[in-house]
Amino acid sequence: MKQPNIVILLMDTMRRDAISPYNESISTPAIKKLASESVVYDAVSPSSWTLPSHVSLFTGKYPSEHGIHESYNVKTNELVMGMNQGKIGLPSPTIAEFLRVKGYNTFGISANAQISSFTRMDAGFSVFVDITKKDEALNEAVSYGRTRGEILVNLAKQGKVGDIFELYRKSKQRVRLSENYPVDKGGNWITWLLNRVSIETPFFIFINMMEMHDPYPSDAKYVPNQFHMNDLFGISKIDGKLMKKIRKEYFEQSSIADQYVGRIINFLKNVYDDTLIILTSDHGQALKEKNYYGHGIYLYDELVRVPLVVKYPKGIKPERNGLISLVNIYEMLKGAAEGVYELRNDEFVISETYGIQDSLNGIAIDDKTRKEYDVPRKAIFKDGYKLVVNGSTGAVEEFTLNEMALSIEDKAYGDLVNELHLYKGNEKFMLP
pLDDT tens readout for residues 26-58: 999 999 999 999 999 999 999 999 999 999 999
Domain boundaries, the chain: 5-132+177-420
105-161: per-residue pLDDT in tens?
999 999 898 998 889 999 999 888 877 654 332 233 223 333 444 444 454 545 454
Fold of 5-132+177-420: Alkaline Phosphatase, subunit A (3.40.720)
272-300: per-residue pLDDT in tens?
999 999 999 999 999 999 999 999 999 99
| Whole-number Å distance between alpha carbons of 202 and 291 | 46
| Whole-number Å distance between alpha carbons of 149 and 366 | 52
406-421: per-residue pLDDT in tens?
998 898 998 898 888 7
Looking at residue 275, its pLDDT comes to: 98
Is this structure's pTM higher than 0.85?
Answer: yes
Nearest Cα neighbor of 46 from 305, 302, 399, 421 is 305
| Whole-number Å distance between alpha carbons of 210 and 224 | 15
383-394: per-residue pLDDT in tens?
999 999 998 888
Would you say residue 7 has pLDDT above 80? yes
Average per-residue pLDDT for the chain: 87
Task: Determine contact, residues 235/242, Cβ cutoff 8 Å.
Answer: no
Looking at residue 166, its pLDDT comes to: 55
Would you say residue 376 has pLDDT above 60? yes
Would you say residue 169 has pLDDT above 70? no
- End-to-end CA separation in angstroms for the chain: 47
| Whole-number Å distance between alpha carbons of 125 and 79 | 21
Greater confidence (392 vs 197) lies with 392
Least confident among 171-180, 197-206, 423-432: 171-180
DSSP H/E element including 189: helix 187-194
Nearest Cα neighbor of 12 from 133, 157, 110, 101 is 110
pLDDT cut 70: percent of the chain above it: 86
209-218: per-residue pLDDT in tens?
999 999 999 9
